[in-house]
Structure 1
Amino acid sequence: MKKFVVIFVCCFVVSGFWSGSGYCKTVKTDAFKIALEAAGLSYESISWDASKLSRIDDADPFRLQWFNEIWANPLRVPKIAKQITDRIPIFATNISKEFNYIFFYGTSRTCGSVAALMEDYLPPLEMAKEKPFYNSVKKTYQNMGWQFGKGLDTKLSTYEGQLTQEASEVLAEYVLSADWLFRERKKALEASDLTEETFRKLLIANAGDEDTGDFTYRLGKRFDMKQMMYACCRIVFSTQKLKGAFGGGVSLPEGKNVFPTPFGDMILNGSRSDDFYSGDNHLLVVDVGGNDTYEGTFGATSSFYNCASVVIDVSGNDTYKDPYGHSPNQGAGVLGCGILADLWGNDTYEAANNCQGAGVFGIGMLYDYTGNDTYSSVDFSQGAGCFGIGAMVEYDGDDVRKCFFGGQGYGATMGFGLSYDRSGNDTYISDDENIIHPSAQNPSHNTSMSQGCGNGRRADITDGHSMSGGCGVLVDGEGDDTYKCGVFGQGVGYWFGVGIFTDTKGNDTYEGLWYVQGATAHFAIAVFRDTEGNDSYTAKQATSLGVGHDFSTSYHIDEGGDDKYSCYMADPKDDKIKQYGGLMIGCGNETGMGFFFNIGGNDVYDAKSDNMYGYANVAAPLAPDTIRNDMLCLGLFIDIGGEDTYGKDFCKQNGNWIRRNEERPEVVIGIGLDVEDGELPILR
């Protein structure tokens, strides 16, 4: 009987596998393989010679350690990007460890691997069993050589007597963690850099800027980032406990109580009144309730000695303002660690630069858990990192974010910048109407470098001190979202940077000008991915929607839904007059690789230029011989499923097209494929 069953099952499997065409009925056709084979290529063909790539600025000391491996192997890029974006929601929504895990992951993506349970391996802090909060503050005074005055002694001792044991211990751990940070930070920098001048210079420095980039380069070479992350880690871990305790109902004594420390003031407010806070130099603010106003520097380092700053606001519709814009703010760490956690309410955040989840030679985090919130900033904000980690994490509500440059998931050199939103109909705007950063591509528009952008400093045309870009990530979960930017945005990379963008659900609207929605320039990597919904894409001018330029790799991936692509700039006087852009929808340019995949749905492509839909071009001269003559330049377009509408006659429903460069026909190839059914295994 057993033999009969085995034979029966085997026969069933074999008969079910083969069909008359030779394909498995239950396994879809590999559309990617079909597209490649039509042009005489294979999976193995889609790579670059790593030894030749090493000739390109290989001396840069700031390259992300995992960059070169996937740079040479473009087909690995989607998998690595998916691993990153799949992990973010898991880490960010573990509400008992959300700070710890984002710290762990950001560190591992920049300066090296860190144990996920690092907190468990740290040597214990020497916390007093009796009066822990009181004794921790007193200890910091002793360690810093400050006088612990009688008035403070009496006030702290009285306050200690009103605290629960849990409140006293979590406060004590945080104070001791700040003391730890101040001492351990000294090992991350040379003695000459341990100054207020260094702190102030970093406030105006931009790793990619010609005027200040050299300062950042030289400081970066002297900087031990691993040591700085180690110095900051206890602030992250202790803040997690503060948030858990006071967000979980642990009380504080009534009233607003202020305690000065060598690292800044501590304000502990157990009242639920509507309070006003101002000034800077804050080590810790805990407010348990009320519609509060914060005007000044909060949850951000404001000086070299103010090496840590945390705000825990438990409830209320709060307003955070930065009237002067001269200091970091609202979840920013410059040479230290700054965290702002707002647990409930419809909140408003207004700041200028280095704010709203910004880490500059340090760690900056902003977490907002509920409510319909509004954020406005200028530069380096809303999840931006440079030699550090910057994270902006939102959970629920219809939120509006506005910035200009370097935000909403921005990774500058050795930086990990993250913007994550779990749900809600959200709006992301990188302002392209008020021109303050004119673009080289079109001076009438801003350079955005935002919404999932990795950006480096190109200095091969100046002082030679190039600096590879970092990793910028934007992940948005559920909701019908709107994204707008100028030049460089929505999953883009520049100069060895990595930009990753993922929107998982909803009918979304995307708008940008140039280098948007999966685009790269100069040795960079980018992935744009929308996994569900009827989406609308507008890319007005050029080099967008899955285009890699100059040894760069880009992916534009849309899965599911009836989508519309508008690849033109309308005449301002008559919107029926359209000027179509170029190098869009799956193009490789100057030995780049660009991949465009749209899976499912009846799609409309209002795109009528020749250099679209799977196009490749290398304009560099054949002689003298260069590596461009024998390295692949590929533009690949694949649309799977649906009744699609194209803007060019050579695009065929359920057909394919191949275009080769006349001068380099074997290595400069454009491929297009429209199939009724199929799959793309490289996206798994």
Structure 2
Amino acid sequence: MTATTYGSTRVNAFALVLCCMGVATAQAEWSRRSQWEATVDEQGLFRAYCILLVRPEQRIVTVSSTTERQDWAEWLLHGSQGADTRVTWVHAPDDGRTLTRYDHVSGECLPSLDGEALTFAKCGRTVASGEGVYPPGQRLIDELQTQPKIWTGLYARRKTELDTEACPATMGLAPYVLGVASLIDQAEMRVGDVLVKVWPWDYDGAVFNGYLSIGKAVKDRFLVGDPARIEYLRALPEGGWELVKKTLVWPVVPGMDKRPSQTLLQSEKRALEAQAAPSQALLGLMAAQAGKTADNADLLTRLARTEAVVDVYRLACFRTVHKHPFSMHEQAGELTDTIPQPSPGRVAKQIAWLDRAFLTNAPGTMAQPPAPTYAGRDLDAHLDFIEGVLEDAAQHAEAAFRRFSLDDRRFIEKQADGLMAGFLSAHMMCFDDDLVRQRANVKLLSMAKRLDTEALMRQALTTARIVDGTFLASLKEQMEQTPDARRIADRKTPWGRIVLAGRGDDRYINKKDNVAVLVDLGGDDFYANNTGSAIPGALATAVLIDFAGDDRYENWHSMRQGCGFFGVGILVDCGGNDSYVGVRCAQGTGFMGVGVLADLGGDDIYRGIDHCQGVGQFGAGLLLDDAGDNRYEGRQSCQGVGFTWGVGLLHSAGTDGDDEYFNKGKVGSGYGDLGSFEGWGQGLGCGHRPYASGGLGVLLDGGGSDRYEGGTFSLGGGYYYGLGILRDRDGHDRYRGSRYNMGFTAHQAVGVFIDDRGNDHYATSHFVAMGMAWDESSTLFLDGEGDDTYVAPGFAFAAGAMNGFALFEDSAGADHYVGVRPASKYGNRYHDGTSVGLFMDLGDGEDVFSGGRQAGEIDAGPEHTFFVDAPTVEAATERLKVTPLKKAAQ
């Protein structure tokens, strides 16, 4: 495009600004999108310019050319149909230098002419101009993919055979849920109303085929803040319908409008300095031979775009592996390899490990504690030390929650149960049909960002000094001088009581037993007090230490047994065969706090209903068990779950304990599958879709022949910007699931499942398991050494769909696959584009594959599926260099 002299005296402010030839103009003329102008040059060529977006650093304009005069506004509105050319220019407002050109006809980015940077300029004289036009095609431009997403909130069923005098509509879309703060919520729609127009589309157009097509059309045409005009019908009490018209603006999902922080960007850069995985090069070679290189690159670009706009809760460890799926193995391995073994002296190190997710740098900047004042001194000196720690912890607690008013705290305390109940009811927050609860939960999510996580980490690290191994040994020595006393000491402090008890079989069953620090020397005790848990408004810091005995911990109050609720709670049981029974948020949970339960010996039983056994939300929850044959039993959302801005860890560290993990049985699956229950746990990172990103959930088992049973969304997976990891280091293990199990993801998430060694047996009763990725997600399933058996009837073994990236690897052994064909094709109707599924069975074992697959094959199927059965990745690579890639027929 070349600049020409304006041949008309009608050069308005719009034209002057558009012409980037050194003319100084007021930026106010560019404050709104979708201003347009049509020109004609001396050769009779018409050009229509339509502004799509203005930023301080760039301006995006679509230019369409034609030799025929048009109704320009209408022509632009419908995508310049019949245009000779249609090109979008992305250029700098200051000097007109072109950054990008996109050709809508060819679907390609255009290079600069003769290698020189182009200058954008308008041509010809103006024949028409105006504003308020929103042409389609924006979603094709990379720069526009990084904008905040519009929140339509429309999930609806098609309603036909309408008969009303209110409008000519004969059909429409009837919402069955209402998402808070969405367009339909702001338009005051209700369940039962019928949407008949979303400007510029009417009820009888193709866009109204369903809510997915409307969502795509809106994304294609509008940006957050553009005017939105809708019409809907509402049934009248006396019969008939009323037509309601609303003019609003397209809203964003609350909070989902941030650019990645420097902390996120730097964390990603450091992670990518590691050496690329060999499987990445192998997939690149296979894609090149199959003619899929560009498509695979497009998928990675699409995954990266999902991380261009974030909320304040996005974890760096998640964002890196989501954008770069080949880093999943290394990053998950590093996260789990650096978890310290449980012991009294290592609780502080366990807490410090949390900073790999939160990146506050609190552990690195914590001042070293002063020299112990208790060493070699009497019991009072030890009590003084505990009191001093409580005082220091209180100061950090004050800093952690200083941005919350008293009313804020009371609201969150009351609504915390509503947040969890809403999740259990709907799982996707905007699907909660209790709108009062949904609004309150969205409010809570907005308020929780005021938490000072660094100060909270400092509080937790400070509190851990009480359970330091050296201090506990010294304290125990002093307590054993009067071991038979029921109460060795009872001191009141401004931060709660400190109680030291003897070796008797004690019962702690009264409210007066809710103390800041309780240390019990031994005996078979029964605990029903706060059990080492913070209590909002009463105890910001709480610690329980039991040195010996077969103890019982039973609470029907929520937030107990090593729970941090608006504070820090630590429970350490140093030995014995213990039993823990809780209801909600028990056994190492953190909600606006940090909670730790560390059991350091014996064969233990943990039972809870929901949100138990290593669950974090706006904080962290750790359940640490160092040895024994243990049973972990929950009904839903238990065993290593990280919700929004949370880290949940269950670490059963014994190398030879035969453990049992059970997480299902509360309610039936929302999919309606007979014999399937909801699970949502066991190494799950989960967000509150669509309002808040998920956290980091880890289930780590050190060894032994273990048994895992989970309901839906269990056993190593992620949901909505959450990262979930299940890793079992050794043993002949059995895994049982139903749907979304054993290395799974859904909706912009990351899931990692690793079993290092052992002859393992995997089985899912229904579908969707063992290395599957759904909807802009990344998943890794990795089994190391051993002769393994896999049973999955469908959608498994490197199954990617809706822009999913699924990696499945069995590294060694003679393996047997039953059910679905590995590396099968699936669809991408949500976002168009492609998915990738890479299946690799390595080693020299004699393998048996399902679905007609043959041992020793290396091939590429349709829809970007890749199958490899070879001794090593290197062997497969060398073979492909000399043997053409076989293309499988499906």
Q: How does the TM-score come out when normalised to structure 2? A: 0.61
CA distance in 2 between counterparts of 1:677 and 1:620 reads 35
How has the CA–CA distance of structure 1 residues 422 and 192 changed in structure 2, closer, same or farther, with 3 Å as cutoff?
A: same
Alignment of 1:34-49 (within 5 A): 34=282, 36-40=284-288, 48-49=299-300
Is 1:92 paired with 2:310? no
Whether the aligned pair in 2 keeps the contact of 1:430 and 1:450 (CA below 8 Å) is no
SS of equivalent to 2:759: coil
SS of equivalent to 1:353: coil
**Aligned twin of 1:615:** 824
Of residues 497, 503, 509, the one that matches 1:265 is: 497
**Aligned twin of 1:405:** 636
Mind listing any 5+ residue stretches in structure 2 that lack a counterpart?
Answer: 1-276, 878-890
Alignment of 1:377-392 (within 5 A): 377-392=608-623
**Aligned twin of 2:53:** none
Is 1:540 paired with 2:749? no
**Aligned-pair CA distance for 1:54:** 3.4
Is 1:237 paired with 2:469? no
How has the CA–CA distance of structure 1 residues 47 and 354 changed in structure 2, closer, same or farther, with 3 Å as cutoff?
A: farther
Of residues 371, 383, 390, the one that matches 1:168 is: 383
CA distance in 1 between counterparts of 2:303 and 2:771 reads 24
How has the CA–CA distance of structure 1 residues 49 and 533 changed in structure 2, closer, same or farther, with 3 Å as cutoff?
A: closer
Whether the aligned pair in 2 keeps the contact of 1:188 and 1:225 (CA below 8 Å) is no
SS of equivalent to 1:436: coil
**Aligned twin of 1:187:** 402
* Structure 1 residues 390-430: Cα deviation after superposition (integer angstroms, max 9, x where no partner): 00011010000001222211000000100111114343433
How has the CA–CA distance of structure 1 residues 495 and 33 changed in structure 2, closer, same or farther, with 3 Å as cutoff?
A: same
**Aligned twin of 1:361:** 592
Counterpart amino acid of residue 199 in structure 1: E
Counterpart amino acid of residue 537 in structure 1: Y
CA distance in 2 between counterparts of 1:73 and 1:98 reads 32
How has the CA–CA distance of structure 1 residues 247 and 491 changed in structure 2, closer, same or farther, with 3 Å as cutoff?
A: farther
**Aligned-pair CA distance for 1:277:** 1.0
Is 1:225 paired with 2:459? no
Whether the aligned pair in 1 keeps the contact of 2:390 and 2:495 (CA below 8 Å) is no
Mind listing any 5+ residue stretches in structure 1 that lack a counterpart?
Answer: 1-28, 134-160, 460-465, 568-580, 662-668
CA distance in 1 between counterparts of 2:417 and 2:836 reads 41
How has the CA–CA distance of structure 1 residues 411 and 547 changed in structure 2, closer, same or farther, with 3 Å as cutoff?
A: same
How has the CA–CA distance of structure 1 residues 426 and 441 changed in structure 2, closer, same or farther, with 3 Å as cutoff?
A: farther
SS of equivalent to 1:202: helix
**Aligned-pair CA distance for 1:240:** 2.7
SS of equivalent to 2:315: coil
Whether the aligned pair in 2 keeps the contact of 1:613 and 1:636 (CA below 8 Å) is no
**Aligned-pair CA distance for 1:544:** 0.8
CA distance in 2 between counterparts of 1:681 and 1:184 reads 56
* Structure 1 residues 485-505: Cα deviation after superposition (integer angstroms, max 9, x where no partner): 010111110000000111011
SS of equivalent to 1:336: strand
Whether the aligned pair in 2 keeps the contact of 1:419 and 1:475 (CA below 8 Å) is yes
**Aligned twin of 2:552:** 319
SS of equivalent to 1:84: helix
CA distance in 1 between counterparts of 2:875 and 2:503 reads 55
CA distance in 1 between counterparts of 2:402 and 2:460 reads 12
Is 1:296 paired with 2:498? no
How has the CA–CA distance of structure 1 residues 428 and 367 changed in structure 2, closer, same or farther, with 3 Å as cutoff?
A: same
Counterpart amino acid of residue 868 in structure 2: L
**Aligned twin of 2:273:** none
How has the CA–CA distance of structure 1 residues 185 and 593 changed in structure 2, closer, same or farther, with 3 Å as cutoff?
A: closer
CA distance in 1 between counterparts of 2:810 and 2:558 reads 44
Whether the aligned pair in 1 keeps the contact of 2:679 and 2:711 (CA below 8 Å) is yes
How has the CA–CA distance of structure 1 residues 476 and 229 changed in structure 2, closer, same or farther, with 3 Å as cutoff?
A: same
**Aligned twin of 1:637:** 839
SS of equivalent to 1:469: coil
Counterpart amino acid of residue 462 in structure 2: R
* Structure 1 residues 628-658: Cα deviation after superposition (integer angstroms, max 9, x where no partner): 33xx410111111210112221x12111232
Of residues 839, 844, 860, the one that matches 1:658 is: 860
CA distance in 1 between counterparts of 2:417 and 2:787 reads 45
SS of equivalent to 1:301: coil
**Aligned twin of 1:672:** 867
**Aligned-pair CA distance for 1:78:** 1.2
CA distance in 1 between counterparts of 2:720 and 2:875 reads 28
Counterpart amino acid of residue 784 in structure 2: E
Of residues 754, 765, 768, the one that matches 1:529 is: 754
Is 1:199 paired with 2:413? yes
Whether the aligned pair in 2 keeps the contact of 1:341 and 1:366 (CA below 8 Å) is yes
How has the CA–CA distance of structure 1 residues 392 and 317 changed in structure 2, closer, same or farther, with 3 Å as cutoff?
A: same
**Identity over aligned pairs, percent:** 26
CA distance in 2 between counterparts of 1:64 and 1:448 reads 23
Counterpart amino acid of residue 776 in structure 2: F
Counterpart amino acid of residue 239 in structure 1: V
How has the CA–CA distance of structure 1 residues 680 and 218 changed in structure 2, closer, same or farther, with 3 Å as cutoff?
A: farther
How has the CA–CA distance of structure 1 residues 334 and 230 changed in structure 2, closer, same or farther, with 3 Å as cutoff?
A: same
**Aligned twin of 2:659:** 427
**Aligned twin of 2:794:** 582
Deviates more, 1:216-225 or 1:515-524: 216-225
**Aligned twin of 1:664:** none
Whether the aligned pair in 1 keeps the contact of 2:303 and 2:322 (CA below 8 Å) is no
* Structure 1 residues 231-260: Cα deviation after superposition (integer angstroms, max 9, x where no partner): 443213333368633676442643324344
Counterpart amino acid of residue 235 in structure 1: T
Counterpart amino acid of residue 379 in structure 2: L
How has the CA–CA distance of structure 1 residues 285 and 452 changed in structure 2, closer, same or farther, with 3 Å as cutoff?
A: same
How has the CA–CA distance of structure 1 residues 119 and 402 changed in structure 2, closer, same or farther, with 3 Å as cutoff?
A: same
**Aligned twin of 1:282:** 515
* Structure 1 residues 538-581: Cα deviation after superposition (integer angstroms, max 9, x where no partner): 112222101111110111100111101122xxxxxxxxxxxxx3
Whether the aligned pair in 2 keeps the contact of 1:92 and 1:101 (CA below 8 Å) is no
Counterpart amino acid of residue 361 in structure 2: V
SS of equivalent to 1:296: coil
**Aligned-pair CA distance for 1:162:** 6.2
SS of equivalent to 2:739: strand
Count of residue pairs the alignment pairs up: 576
SS of equivalent to 1:282: coil
How has the CA–CA distance of structure 1 residues 640 and 54 changed in structure 2, closer, same or farther, with 3 Å as cutoff?
A: closer
Whether the aligned pair in 1 keeps the contact of 2:842 and 2:870 (CA below 8 Å) is yes
How has the CA–CA distance of structure 1 residues 496 and 179 changed in structure 2, closer, same or farther, with 3 Å as cutoff?
A: closer
**Aligned twin of 2:541:** 308
**Aligned twin of 1:146:** none
How has the CA–CA distance of structure 1 residues 247 and 371 changed in structure 2, closer, same or farther, with 3 Å as cutoff?
A: farther
Whether the aligned pair in 2 keeps the contact of 1:533 and 1:560 (CA below 8 Å) is yes
Q: How does the TM-score come out when normalised to structure 1? A: 0.78
Counterpart amino acid of residue 648 in structure 1: G
**Aligned-pair CA distance for 1:169:** 4.3
Of residues 809, 820, 834, the one that matches 1:597 is: 809
Counterpart amino acid of residue 266 in structure 1: I
> Higher Cα Rg: structure 1 or 2?
2
CA distance in 2 between counterparts of 1:185 and 1:72 reads 31
SS of equivalent to 1:367: strand
**Aligned-pair CA distance for 1:480:** 0.6
Whether the aligned pair in 1 keeps the contact of 2:379 and 2:475 (CA below 8 Å) is no
Whether the aligned pair in 2 keeps the contact of 1:199 and 1:304 (CA below 8 Å) is no
Counterpart amino acid of residue 606 in structure 2: Y
CA distance in 1 between counterparts of 2:528 and 2:562 reads 14
Counterpart amino acid of residue 405 in structure 1: Q
Counterpart amino acid of residue 742 in structure 2: Q
CA distance in 1 between counterparts of 2:728 and 2:784 reads 11
Deviates more, 1:410-419 or 1:669-678: 669-678
